[in-house]
Structure 1
């Protein structure tokens, strides 16, 4: 719906601030979302490669599980 927010930005900031135990920037929620999208894009790309190398017709849960640890390691900050 136009004009409707997907999530309450203030709530996300409060959760991140409480979890990180430090001050957060004004647009931290946007950065978190963009990092999430980039992570998912990389995960699906790697799972597609793994599935093709394994002779599968499409992406399966097995191919995603195989690449999850390596993809998470790339995004660990």
Structure 2
């Protein structure tokens, strides 16, 4: 049975290399993918809290937009 890939490693490596114009270490794409997963988890948790405080039934685009800057600031290096 073939293992399922969560993301195309070669594509991620090409995109990051093109934007940074630097060589990547062997597993840099894995770390980037994991950091992205943590970011999305944080973003959704914050959006859930924001939507509940606003009295909404579900998460709306408005609640996600409100917390995006906060989530981004947590992940800046």
TM-score normalised by the shorter chain: which range applies? 0.7 to 0.9
Shift of 1:19: 1.6
Distance 2:58 2:7 in 1: 32
2:48 is matched with 48
Question: Which stretch shifts more, 15-24 or 26-35?
Answer: 15-24
- What CA RMSD, in Å, does the superposition of the two structures yield over aligned residues? 1.8
Distance 1:45 1:31 in 2: 21
Q: What secondary structure sits across from 2:22 in the alignment?
A: coil
Figure out how many residues of one structure are paired with residues of the other and give that number: 77
1:57 is matched with 57
Q: Mind listing any 5+ residue stretches in structure 1 that lack a counterpart? A: none
Shift of 1:15: 2.6
| 1:17 counterpart = 2:17 | yes
| 1:39 counterpart = 2:39 | yes
Shift of 1:4: 4.8
Shift of 1:7: 4.2
